[in-house]
Amino acid sequence: KNRHEDEVHKLEQLAARNLFQSKRVASAYTRNAIFYGLVGTLFTGFGAVQYRFLGLQAVFFILIGLFLLYAAFANYFEGKKHK
């Protein structure tokens, strides 16, 4: 009987630890999404504003910005899975 109680206690501790780590992972994904979103917006905006001056280089900035915005959305939705 005592052995089973120890096993149940260990399983409860493991479940509690996994739940705590899951919340930490979700917040990390959210922080990444915010950072990627801000940087992606800056790159896209800079490329759009400078398009007439930089030409093809501005398109490169816009593409980097759009990729970062995609990464922001991907991180955000992945973080929602862990909540």
pLDDT digit string (tens) for 21-31?
777 788 899 99
Q: What is the pTM of this model?
A: 0.76
Angle of helix 2-49 relative to helix 56-81, nearest 10 degrees, comes to: 160
Low-confidence residues of the chain, pLDDT below 70?
1, 83
30 contact partners, CB below 8 Å, separation of at least 6? 75, 76, 79
Q: What is the Cα Rg of the chain in Å?
A: 22
Q: Is 55 left (phi over 0), alpha (psi -120 to 50) or beta?
A: left
Q: What percent of the chain has a predicted confidence (pLDDT) above 90?
A: 61
pLDDT score, position 17: 79
In this prediction, residue 1 carries a pLDDT of 61
CB atoms within 10 A of CB 80: 12
Predicted local confidence at residue 13, as pLDDT: 83
